[in-house]
Amino acid sequence: MQKHVKRGLWNHLMKDGIEMGLASIIYEVGVASKYVNHAMRTGDLGLAGTSNLYGEDQLALDVLADEIIKDRLDHTGRVRRIISEEQSEIIIFDREKRSGGYAVCYDPLDGSSLVDVNLSVGTIVAIYAGEDPLQDGSRQVGALYVLYGPRTTLVYSAGHGVHEFTLNSLGEYVLTRENIRLKESGRIFSPGGLRADYLPEHEKLVSHLEDNGYKLRYSGGFVPDINQILLKGGGLFMYPATTKAASGKLRLPFELNPMAYLMEAAGGAASDGEKPILELKCHDLDQRSPIYIGSREEVALAEKILSRK
């Protein structure tokens, strides 16, 4: 007889032996994402002066997403401090005074400027042991993202492979891809930034990719662009240093570290052009870095071309 029970997120976390506190953080972000997803699908786009399902006053979607995720993280009882791309300071959950526990960095709705034109956006989360959310990326104990696209998917790793879950019509995340792995190289590239602002060495890299038949695949949303490279099994996403922004645009604690963790866990790589993203010292909420992330060969190629300054 055909089995109709698919593996859910909690079941998978438990089967992989993920520590209960860490598992509940990942699971609760999944719960939060269902509310964020609902707000997005029901046209709750933060139009001024209207009320919404969740509160008295209408909030912009990114602010609403931030509130929902913050509350669910607090609800786990295992999170001591958080930082969010929507907040300017570290938030301390003082209910949690005992030692242990976790610190969480998250971008509640990355690419939120794409919501009004109905392009895909995402939530990105990095998890650290202890109370300090500003740790180096190599110290992450787990990371995940949720992609709000035609389907809503959640991709996580907690040190035992990278796995994708899809939200079904019953509101459950069910396993759709287990142990996602990148190939050594891919055929697509996603170049962030304005070409007119490229530095010469980055321009050489992009021209090299074009001359060698790489296909341009760029949506303008970090989560869908990374998801494409991960699930297609290779390629290169770049957000470079530019003539206008020496450290690029994307933020280390909220965007780059969690994606670098996931990409490395799937057998890929992530570099600032010289060294691994996960080895960068993280000291500031607003810290940014250029990034070259994807399959190993293309990341190595980027480092090679960029080193010929």
Binding residue (CB under 6 A) for ligand AHM from 108, 133, 186, 193:
193
Binding segment toward Mg ion, per CB under 5 A, in 44-52, 55-63, 105-113, 290-298: 105-113
Strands 236-239 and 188-191: parallel
Nearest to 216 by CA among 204, 203, 206, 201: 206
Write down the least CB distance from residue 153 to Mg ion, Å.
18
Sign of CA dihedral 130, 32, 167, 215: negative
Long-range contacts of 146-151 (CB under 8 A, 24+ apart): 146/29, 146/30, 146/33, 146/36, 146/37, 146/122, 146/223, 147/120, 147/122, 147/223, 147/224, 147/227, 148/33, 148/36, 148/37, 148/40, 148/120, 148/121, 148/122, 148/123, 149/120, 149/224, 149/227, 150/120
- Strand boundaries in the chain, DSSP class E: 79-84, 91-92, 102-110, 121-129, 140-148, 152-157, 162-167, 173-177, 188-191, 215-216, 236-239, 269-271, 291-294
Binding residue (CB under 6 A) for ligand AHM from 80, 202, 249, 288:
249
Examine residue 86 and tell whether it contacts Mg ion (CB under 5 A). Answer: no
Helices (H), 16-56: 20-41
Binding residue (CB under 6 A) for ligand AHM from 101, 133, 192, 234:
192
Torsions phi, psi for 32 (to 5 deg): -55, -40
User: By C-beta, is 88 or 99 nearer to Mg ion?
Assistant: 88
Binding residue (CB under 5 A) for Mg ion from 107, 164, 264, 272:
107
- Lay out the site mask for ligand AHM across 24-63 (x = CB under 6 A, - = otherwise): ----------------------------------------
Binding residue (CB under 6 A) for ligand AHM from 111, 186, 240, 273:
111
Examine residue 222 and tell whether it contacts ligand AHM (CB under 6 A). Answer: yes
Examine residue 149 and tell whether it contacts ligand AHM (CB under 6 A). Answer: no
User: By C-beta, is 53 or 194 nearer to Mg ion?
Assistant: 194
249 binds, among Mg ion, ligand AHM, none (CB under 5 to 8 A by kind): ligand AHM
> How many residues at the interface with ligand AHM, by CB under 6 A?
9
Question: What is residue 106's DSSP assignment?
Answer: E
Binding residue (CB under 6 A) for ligand AHM from 30, 101, 221, 290:
221
The C-alpha torsion from 278 through 282 and 286 to 287, rounded to 10°, is -60
112 binds, among ligand AHM, Mg ion, none (CB under 5 to 8 A by kind): ligand AHM
User: By C-beta, is 186 or 191 nearer to ligand AHM?
Assistant: 191
User: By C-beta, is 96 or 298 nearer to ligand AHM?
Assistant: 298
Residues that bind ligand AHM (CB under 6 A): 110-112, 192-193, 220-222, 249
Residues that bind Mg ion (CB under 5 A): 107, 110
